[in-house]
Amino acid sequence: MSTRLQKGGRLIDRSTRAEFTFNGRRLIGHAGDTLASALLANDQMLVGRSFKYHRPRGIVAAGPEEPNALVNLGRADRLEPNQRATTTELYAGLEAASQNHWPSLDFDIGVVNNYLARFLPAGFYYKTFIHPRAAWKHLFEPIIRQSAGLGSAPKETDADRYEFVYAFCDVLIIGGGIAGLQAALTAGQAGKRVILLEQTAHWGGRAVVDGDTVENESAEEWVTSAVDALKTMENVTLRNRCMGAGVYDHGYVLANERLADHTPGDGRPKQRVWRIRAGHIISATGAIERPLSFAGNDIPGVMLAASVRDYVVNYAVSPGDRTVVVTNNDDAYLTAITLVEAGLSVPVVLDARAQADGPLPSRARALGIRVETGRGIASVKGGKRVTGVQICLQAGEGAVMEEIACDAVAMSGGWSPVVHLWSHCGGKLIWSETLSAFVPDSARPPLNHDGSAMVSCVGAAAGVYDPADIIAGTDSDGAATAIVPVWMMPQGAPIGLRSKMWLDYQNDVKVSDVQLAAREGYESVEHTKRYTTLGMATDQGKLSNINGLAVLSQALGAEIPQVGTTTFRPPYTPVTIGALAGEARGEIFQPLRRTPMHDWHDQNGAYWEPVGLWRRPYCYPRAGETHDQAVQREVINTREKLGLLDASTLGKIIVKGPDAGRFLDMLYTNMMSNLAVGKCRYGLMCNEQGFLSDDGVVARIDEDTWLCHTTSGGADRIHGWMEDWLQCEWWDWKVYTANVTEQYAQVAVVGPNARKLLEKIGGMDVSKEALPFMQWADGSLGGFPVRVYRISFSGELSYEIAIPASHGAAFWDMLHREGAEFGAMPYGTECLHVLRAEKGFIMIGDETDGTVTPLDLGLGWAVSKKKADFLGKRGMERTYLADPERWKLVGLETLDGSVLSDGAYAVAPGTNENGQRNTEGRVTSTYYSPTLKKGIAMGLIKNGPDRMGEVVELNKVDGGTVKARIVDAVFFDKEGEKGNA
Amino acid sequence: MHNPVSALGGEMFEGFATIREVGPMGMITLRCKMDEKPLATTLKKLGFSLPDQRRISHGKDRSAGWMSPDELLLILPYADVAATMEGLASGLAKTHHLAADVSDARAMFRIEGEKADQVLAKLCPVDLKTLAPAELRRTRAAQVAAAFWAQDGGYTLVSFRSVAGYVMGILRHAAAKGAEI
Amino acid sequence: MRRYSVFAIAREALRYHSGWERAWASPTPKASYDAIIIGAGGHGLATAYYLGKNHGITNVAVIEKGWLGGGNTGRNTTIIRSNYLQDPSAAIYEKARSLYETMSQDLNYNVMFSPRGVIMLAQTHHEVRGYLRTAHANALQGVETQFINAAKVKELVPIINIDGPRYPVLGGLWQPRGGTARHDAVAWGYARACSDMGMDIIQQCEVKGVRSEGGKVVGVETTKGYIGTKKLGIVVAGHSGQVADMAGFRLPVEAVALQALVSEPIKPCMDVVVMANTVHGYMSQSDKGEMVIGGGTDGFNNYTQRGSFHHIEETLRALVETFPMISRLKMLRQWGGIVDMTGDRSPLISKTPLGNCFINCGWGTGGFKAIPGSGWAMAELMAKGEPGPLAAAFSLDRFKEGRFIDESVAAGVAH
Amino acid sequence: MLTLQCPYCGVQADETELSPGYEAHLKRFGPGSTPEEFESYMFARKNPKGVHFERWRHAYGCGKWFLAARDTNTLEVFGTYPAQSSAPPADLIAKIKQKRPDWEGYK
């Protein structure tokens, strides 16, 4: 059994007990424990079920490489699936539950897959479930989906908050072991700005666990003094619990700091994501131990040798009473020694090598540990827990020589440098025969923005393991850490054994699966990965990739470097999605742009419509009113009395300079240079394709100043468009622009009573004579400084009044107060749409969609034929745009008075070559007109203007059609008397 | 005459740093080539001094910030805007320029406290340590445009008025107690 | 070719699966072929497959620089839909979708086409009108779609937040027969079928030059030597510009990075594909249980297969707002692909200025869903030398004429 | 995550402070141009795998458009220069030549 030892545990505080639950069972751990160490201390080795076969799974590692010990952590609005027990710090009240089983961890129906394992090899699903066709969707896929997946899906909104922080440094060091600390000391002492990150809560890495000696001190002492020294340096920032997640181009690194994962609900952000821009990145990310491939290597109780050491030394937890050590290198002997020194039993060390005479094997022998060289494990015995191992010759085919009872196996297949961060941006690797591992090829590093090397690796991440070499900065020759690769145990294992050798514990990929993939032609390492799912589990192959690769290369008869690796992609370990969304949730999910009258709208029941980042009132429904009824009321009131519209979102751009007229003549399709001071003109803008992109009223302010109104969504886009041409094409033209959209609140005062209201308020002459249609004037109204434009988008008598934004709300209030006697009512965007449609005015975004020209819309009068050039002129001349057969704007009236469907198409006889029904036009805007008490619509119809009075058929989504007559698009007040009043 | 109101009416938040919306503040966007001779003299006459690239120069109750090679942001008491606009118009009458009153198009915030820099570090992709004294930095605060500079032991940040509520929201989030870096 | 079936698996299980044949051969190139296709991605392999199946041309080589299916075919978010607005798009994507329905049986390879349905959310009134337009167009194009209300969206996707404070869901365009498929399997299934027809799939073979005589293509120079051909199809997605350069013409194409990511696997929680254009993100759940997430492209030319991380953040914050429950899931892996974007964001299946040389590219962010239709149309073009009705609109000369196939009104996120 | 120095204000800007604008030095063809000229102006792109001259705007900064020479295959930035340039500066061309001897040069 696994249990807590009486003594030791460098990271735990035995005086602080932490009560927690696992599958509802109340257990006790200590402060400083990880969830994994606390589970082991409570003899809970079985922690989950594998993905495919639902085999029992135990804790195998002690760090982020753990593939098995994944739990549902917490519950309700703090439920977190797939949380790694090995990196979860224990806290009082922690709730964990195991995953991927039903009804229980110990008895899982899904384990039936295990008994069928022979029928479910790699890629079996590509070869079956093909017939009958409907069965995949209705039968097979649902079953597979239920069986797959791991943790539970959260149901509630996350209770926690997250944030980002930007940081900058000359040198970013990732990994707080000896190598990282030494790199930080060197860079810090050289005066560089340094950030040092460590993913765990503790500094020192492996050396402090293994009791190494560094510069004649114990590693523990060396680390303490190094950290102390770094803390005194103002140019050095230290962060632990902070994982270097990804390296991106130009020295950008993403790091994930766990602030309150171990103190949930304490009010701090749960996590903080660091966005670091570093001059240089040093990856001191250590190495990960590899499992060995022997039959039954996935049975709970089989663990990585160094992880066993971690549990004993750091947490005083023994994974088992009797632990068999199996290895191909010297390092694992330290595990045997550590266990024996802790008073535990190591029945045998099985060393696959023919000889083992290094210092550690010698020490082990001296302690009386039985060491067998040239031996391996033929098979591990046990079901939900190891009960023993069968020993065989490594060089043989698995004939059992001896069976030894044990309850744990500590395995070591050598070490793989953690080269993820080196590789994220394209750093290349070379295969080290000495280390049997891929190491960074320092001749082919990832490149920074200036072409220099962006990342370097130190310590174990570079394949340098000896602290002396790390401190001295020398490359080790690797002799001391040389290993004999063992990719399969025993070497000649028959298929029966190979099909029980696990490579990927979580995804259930075995040696036989990789061999099958190779045999079937999935020869590329990426093919094999994808065919077998090797390395695609939540550990992203940290344990399995190299072993799988080696098996593949053997199967192909190729060398490992020729087979190559799969691509390393960020993040190094999975990162909480909420953390990557940062602060952007709820109210601050996106900026909300507010006009000065925004609060008034909100308080007066506005039903909102998002328009870009603005939100505009769609209508103001009253109690008991539907939105449609509210819109109709607003339309009628505006037509008959007085409507008030918050038009502040309209874009307002000042264009000034000696060349401003010339510039606007290029920008607009019509002439603007000849607009008289004091007057307004409607203008159109096209892109270079000749398609309409924006429209609005331009006012000439003075000799060299124009004010251009744009659509609400268009202000920033059009301002950018102007600057683009001024900066990049016509840079010698003397023109300045300024976007003053937000400087002004703008109110449209619309309706027969509009003038009455303004005259009542008083302050300037707004009579027809003093301020005729399409003119503007500065003045004051009710004591407010205003600029009044006589323009109309409704066909009504209308004043658009601009007022400094800081007076906007007060001015709006005043209009309502003073306007009450004239029937003043606010109206929203939908009423605006109906009003303009009744008048046949086009709306950018409704009549246009990026493929419509001004000529299509009958706006030829606003397209200058005199100008030699304007943006879009050449584009419009292209054959397809100049085609006389194009669909053109007309009005549409249904024969029965009904309202046409939004987006309906006009159908034409027959079908095209692809069997699609022919069409001859489409509806662009369609409304019920409360003024005319019938449906009105605008649409683009083939040769439309030449077909007045003809009836066309518009389709319905359910298959029928509606007949409509082609009419003039101006439905109301065709002579324009109301607006000119 | 009515009193102008700032975007948030002087909203305040006390976290590990103090956030205050301030204003209304007079602001003028002045577009003009910096080497136009009348510019420096006109500015001087109006109580401003021409700032260097990416700097803000402070006068008695007014400042001039460098926004781009041909753009300044003049900051001054709200009540003085009209007179200053007139002064610019006359001083630069023969110089190609554009002056626009943007007092009401902006919102201004003060971020104060020992750890005020941490608030900005969470929102702006800017290396605050390498910021020169009196450097005006135009950048992004989370998802919106912003400009800031160090002043009086804290920072002054300017954003567009329409997003003042959003900016206050992100500043609150960044300055919340317990979220010190 | 030994057929795949549950019986074959049972038989093989008894002998530890030692009897499975290679899925495709690994031949050395012949001196010449009737047709060469550059690019063994989904589109290239499908082109070869339909050259053989529909036109009887089997003396074909598919040449691949890396490994088959290793480009965008193996790195997309596997969405299949045909609810496009413009007639030419709807025609080819619907052809593709219908071929996906029977692909597993056709290829005797389970590509796991899952017609689980696709919803495109409408979160502004403008979007509602846009999707109503698409629904009307689809009704005439023979594409089965419907505009559904918010309650129906919620019923189909219980994890969605339809009352988001910012962009409440107003409805959605629902294509019940859209869905997903296993992307790698599509390439592998086609490769196996092509190989079975005697075609040569030549991997690890890079084209270094295109040889022509009298304005017509005669062969390609490769890292495995010169190979003659009567016809050449260039089907290389992000690298189209490079190969076109060898063939002596320029394309209206820019190569940019498109990114995607997956979460860790969780138990089933979402049965349909959801695309949210207003906030820019789309998500589905794979059969493995991962949430598969995609977003927009970077805006600069890029051949690195790495994008800029802020796009991932933008996508994730949009999806956390739309699906609050994903906040506590973890991003497992993110990656990028190089997509080729044309001037109107619609593809090219076209003759080129070089005789007997044809191009199929420009699928941008949405190529996977088109694979069988694209291959079908490209095979017809190559076999006959002239485009059939599916390909006709996707010609190169449309840019000169201004005859755009612009889907932007229907799909802000063009996936 | 690119970083580019704005040649107008000197800021070493983060990619998120910039807006990209694709190929630089395009020659505008307006009325009177042939269909081929107009098509090439609107659509034909060099799209090289290697040295690329391109437009960027310091959108969240001084607002100025500028041009950059960048390798689309390694993302190395050779330099930035003002938008008011009809061709890349000679010293930048020389620098790129030195770093990329196989580069065919600016065409």
CATH at B130: 3.30.1360.120
In D, minimum Cα distance to A254 occurs at D1
Question: Is residue D27 assigned to a domain?
Answer: yes
Distance CA A924, CA A849 (A): 10
pTM for the model stands at 0.97
Strands C146-149 and C171-175 come out as: antiparallel
CA distance A861 to chain D (A): 19
Q: What is the DSSP string of A251-312?
A: TEEEEEEESSTTSTTSSS-SEEEEEEEEEEEEE---EEEPP--BBTTTSTTEEEHHHHHHHH
Return residues 21-80 of D near B (CB < 8 Å).
Answer: 60-64
Question: Is residue D39 assigned to a domain?
Answer: yes
- Please give the pLDDT value at position B123: 98
Q: Provide the token pair at B71.
A: 């753009």
Can you tell me the mean pLDDT for C104-120? 97
Question: What interface predicted TM-score (ipTM) does this complex get?
Answer: 0.97
Q: What is the DSSP string of C81-105?
A: ----SSHHHHHHHHHHHHHHHTHHH
Question: Is residue B181 assigned to a domain?
Answer: no
Question: Cβ distance A243 to A573 under 8 Å?
Answer: yes
Chains with at least 3 CB pairs less than 8 angstroms from chain A: B, C, D
Are both B64 and B88 inside the same structural domain? yes
Contacts of B180 (CB under 8 A, 6+ apart): B16, B115, B118
H helix intervals, A70-172: 112-115, 124-127, 133-135, 141-147
- Please give the pLDDT value at position A103: 87
Question: Cβ distance C345 to C392 under 8 Å?
Answer: no
- Subunit contact C390:A570, Cβ cutoff 8 A: no
Tell me the domains of chain A and their CATH numbers. Answer: 160-286+414-479 (3.50.50.60), 603-647+747-823 (3.30.1360.120), 884-981 (2.40.30.110)
* Per-residue pLDDT tens over the stretch B120-173: 999 999 999 999 999 999 999 999 999 999 999 999 999 999 999 999 999 999
Q: What are the chain B neighbours of D14 within 8 Å (beta carbons)?
A: 125
Burial-class residue A896 by CB neighbours within 10 Å (0-12, 13-18, 19+): exposed
- Please give the pLDDT value at position A476: 62
Location of structure tokens 């295109």 = C210
Q: Provide the token pair at A904.
A: 């309906």
Question: At residue C396, does pLDDT exceed 60?
Answer: yes
Angle, CA of C408, C412 and C415, to the nearest 5°? 100
Are both B76 and B112 inside the same structural domain? no
In B, minimum Cα distance to D60 occurs at B139
Domain that holds residue D85: 3-99
- Please give the pLDDT value at position B1: 59
Distance CA C155, CA C174 (A): 12
Question: Cβ distance A565 to A441 under 8 Å?
Answer: no
- Please give the pLDDT value at position C415: 35
Are both B19 and B74 inside the same structural domain? no
Distance CA A722, CA A335 (A): 71
- Please give the pLDDT value at position A655: 98
Q: How many interchain CB pairs under 8 A, A with B?
A: 129
Q: What are the chain B neighbours of A740 within 8 Å (beta carbons)?
A: 100-102, 105
Question: At residue C1, does pLDDT exceed 80?
Answer: no
Nearest to A587 among B105, B142, B169 (CB): B169
Distance CA A58, CA A296 (A): 12
What's phi and psi for A406, nearest 5 deg? -165, 165
- B interface mutation test: which of D17, D19, D64 has the most B CBs within 10 A? D17
DSSP state of C218: E
Q: What is the DSSP string of D47-103?
A: --SSEEEEEEE-TTTT--EEEEEEETTT--EEEEEESS-SS--HHHHHHHHHH-TT-
Are both B31 and B96 inside the same structural domain? yes
Q: How many structural domains compose chain D?
A: 1
- Please give the pLDDT value at position A856: 97
- Subunit contact B139:D62, Cβ cutoff 8 A: no
Low-confidence ranges of chain A (pLDDT < 50): none
Question: Cβ distance A870 to A853 under 8 Å?
Answer: no
- Please give the pLDDT value at position C120: 96
Return the SS3 of C375. Answer: helix
Question: Is residue D53 assigned to a domain?
Answer: yes
Q: Select from B69, B104, B139 the last residue of a domain.
A: B104
Q: Where are the beta strands (DSSP E) in chain B?
A: 12-14, 18-22, 26-31, 56-58, 63-68, 71-76, 98-101, 106-112, 137-141, 144-151, 154-160
Nearest to A163 among B100, B174, B177 (CB): B174
Are both B96 and B116 inside the same structural domain? no
Nearest to D64 among A449, A727, A873 (CB): A727
Distance CA C294, CA C379 (A): 30
* Per-residue pLDDT tens over the stretch C8-61: 999 999 888 989 999 999 999 999 999 999 999 999 999 999 999 999 999 999
Distance CA D49, CA C242 (A): 7
Question: Is residue D82 assigned to a domain?
Answer: yes
Can you tell me the mean pLDDT for C65-77? 94
Q: What are the chain D neighbours of B69 within 8 Å (beta carbons)?
A: 8-9, 62, 64
Return the SS3 of B71. Answer: strand
Question: Is residue B45 assigned to a domain?
Answer: yes
What's phi and psi for A201, nearest 5 deg? -85, 0
Q: How many structural domains compose chain B?
A: 2
- Subunit contact D31:A728, Cβ cutoff 8 A: no
Q: Select from B85, B104, B123 the last residue of a domain.
A: B104
Are both B127 and B111 inside the same structural domain? yes
Q: Select from B54, B85, B104 the last residue of a domain.
A: B104
Contacts of A242 (CB under 8 A, 6+ apart): A197, A198, A199, A255, A256, A257, A258, A274
Distance of CA A33 to the CA centre of its chain: 32
Edge-to-edge strand ranges of the sheet holding A784-789: A776-781, A784-789, A798-804, A744-750, A642-646, A824-826
Are both B156 and B110 inside the same structural domain? yes
Domain that holds residue B156: 12-23+105-174
Strands A287-289 and A415-417 come out as: antiparallel
Q: From residue A812, how far is each of A785, A819, B78, B103 by CA, in Å?
A: 13, 10, 22, 19
Return the SS3 of C273. Answer: strand
Task: Find, among A666, A690, A661, A677, the residue nearest to A860 by Cα.
Answer: A690
CATH at D49: 3.30.2270.10
* Per-residue pLDDT tens over the stretch A154-209: 999 999 999 999 999 999 999 999 999 999 999 999 999 999 999 999 999 999 99
Q: Give the number of other CB atoms < 10 A from CB of residue A778.
A: 12
Q: Tell whether the torsion through CA atoms of A250, A251, A254 and A259 is positive or negative.
A: negative
Are both B127 and B83 inside the same structural domain? no
* Per-residue pLDDT tens over the stretch C337-373: 999 999 999 999 999 999 999 999 999 988 999 999 9
Question: Is residue B180 assigned to a domain?
Answer: no
Are both B57 and B115 inside the same structural domain? no
Confidence of residue C409 (pLDDT cuts 50, 70, 90): low
Question: Is residue B138 assigned to a domain?
Answer: yes
H-run or E-run covering A643: strand A642-646
Q: Provide the token pair at C153.
A: 């969206």
Distance CA B134, CA B113 (A): 18
Question: Is residue D15 assigned to a domain?
Answer: yes
Strands C225-234 and C357-361 come out as: parallel
Angle, CA of A784, A786 and A788, to the nearest 5°? 140
Are both B45 and B112 inside the same structural domain? no
Nearest to D39 among C301, C309, C399 (CB): C399
Region of A82 please: left (phi>0), alpha (psi -120 to 50) or beta: left
Location of structure tokens 């087979």 = A563
CA distance D90 to chain C (A): 23
Q: Provide the token pair at C29.
A: 């190139």
Question: Cβ distance A58 to A46 under 8 Å?
Answer: yes
Q: Give the number of other CB atoms < 10 A from CB of residue A400.
A: 12
Q: What is the 3-state secondary structure (H, E, C) of A667-702?
A: HECCCCCCCCCCEEEEEEEECCCCCEEEEEEEEEEE
DSSP state of A203: S
- Subunit contact D3:A449, Cβ cutoff 8 A: yes
CA distance D26 to chain A (A): 10
Confidence of residue C412 (pLDDT cuts 50, 70, 90): very low
Q: Does D8 touch chain B (CB under 8 A)?
A: yes
Location of structure tokens 């249990």 = A3
What's phi and psi for A187, nearest 5 deg? -70, -40
Question: Is residue B41 assigned to a domain?
Answer: yes
DSSP state of A845: T
Q: What is the 3-state secondary structure (H, E, C) of A531-585?
A: HHCCCCCCCCCCCCHHHHHHHHHHHHCCCHHHHCCCCCCCCCCCEEHHHHHCCCC
Strand partners, A645: A748
- Please give the pLDDT value at position C413: 35
Q: From residue A148, how far is each of A3, A50, A366, C282, D107 by CA, in Å?
A: 32, 9, 49, 22, 55
Q: What are the chain A neighbours of D42 within 8 Å (beta carbons)?
A: 688-689, 875
Contacts of A603 (CB under 8 A, 6+ apart): none
Our CA dihedral for C144, C146, C152, C155, rounded to 10 degrees, sits at: 20
Return the SS3 of C11. Answer: helix
Can you tell me the mean pLDDT for C146-159? 97
Q: Where are the beta strands (DSSP E) in C318-363?
A: 330-342, 348-351, 357-361
Are both B47 and B94 inside the same structural domain? yes
Question: Is residue D106 assigned to a domain?
Answer: no
DSSP state of C210: E
Can you tell me the mean pLDDT for C228-241? 96
Low-confidence ranges of chain D (pLDDT < 70): none
Q: Provide the token pair at C26.
A: 């690994």
Question: Is residue B71 assigned to a domain?
Answer: yes
